[in-house]
Amino acid sequence: MNWRWVSLAAALAAIVIGYGAFVDNDDVPTANHEMPEQPGYYLKDAVILRTREDGSPGIELIARRIDQRLSRAPARGEAITMESVRVNYFGKEDWQWALTANSGLVPPNSRVVQLEGDVELRSLEGNANAYLRTNELAIDTEKNIAYSTRSPVKVRFGQHAMTVKSLRADLTSEKLRLETVNGRFDPQPQR
């Protein structure tokens, strides 16, 4: 009779353990088989040159590091981030614009480059003291237009400085449009 009680107790224990495992399934750790997010690619000390149809240089992008993250949603695309960015725009007649920034971002499926942190735009032809400086600037790489995304923007002309609310620079025609100019010219001390 002892074996019957032991068999019955073992059967009841198996039922209780099985029921407990079935009910407490949420507390059981599950294995995660997903790969951690990996870069689609990354480049260090990158120099990327986009040429025109005739083969002449158009835009040169230089960055300490460029990363593209893979997206799990294919329709969303991939964002591209950059560190220590310099963009050179070559004109048709050898003129050139240089744009520098601490970091940059190209949103998924976009032709606009968003630059941030000590952004500076200067023409390498003509007056070396004339440049634009702001914290953020965006560039439409198809239309070759740079525009401010945040206010204020500091503009220097030789020994004079002016603060404006927003700007738009056409890099092809070399024209600058300042909007809502509430600044004034202040003489800068000679160095």
Cα–Cα distance between 114 and 126 in angstroms, integer?
A: 26
- Range among 1-10, 81-90, 162-171 rated most confident: 81-90
Burial category of 169 from C-beta neighbours within 10 Å (exposed 0-12, middle 13-18, buried 19 and up) = buried
Is this prediction's pTM over 0.75?
A: no
SS3 114: strand
Please report whether residue 121 resides in a domain. Answer: yes
Please report whether residue 2 resides in a domain. Answer: no
pLDDT tens-digit profile of 95-148? 688 889 999 998 888 889 899 998 888 877 766 667 778 888 898 888 888 898
pLDDT tens-digit profile of 68-84? 876 655 545 688 899 99
Mean pLDDT of the chain: 76
Please report whether residue 186 resides in a domain. Answer: no
Q: What is the mean pLDDT of residues 150-165?
A: 74
Of 155, 137, 69, the residue nearest 107 (C-alpha): 69
Please report whether residue 118 resides in a domain. Answer: yes
Of 173, 179, 178, 151, the residue nearest 89 (C-alpha): 173
Please report whether residue 18 resides in a domain. Answer: no
pLDDT score for 179: 79
Q: How many CA atoms lie within 13 A of 158 on its CB side?
A: 3
SS3 138: strand
pLDDT score for 3: 62
Alpha-carbon separation of residue 127 from 3, 82, 89, 99, 172 (angstroms): 103, 29, 17, 16, 18
pLDDT score for 44: 92
Cα–Cα distance between 67 and 105 in angstroms, integer?
A: 10
Please report whether residue 56 resides in a domain. Answer: yes
Please report whether residue 53 resides in a domain. Answer: yes
Please report whether residue 111 resides in a domain. Answer: yes
Domain of 76, in residue numbers: 39-146
pLDDT score for 75: 47
**Residue 121: how many other CB atoms lie within 10 Å:** 25
pLDDT tens-digit profile of 6-60? 566 666 666 666 656 555 555 555 666 666 656 577 889 998 888 888 888 888 8
Cα–Cα distance between 80 and 154 in angstroms, integer?
A: 28
pLDDT score for 159: 66
Return the CATH number at 113: 2.60.450.10
pLDDT score for 165: 83
Contact 73, 93 (CB under 8 A): no
Per the structure, the count of domains in the chain is: 1
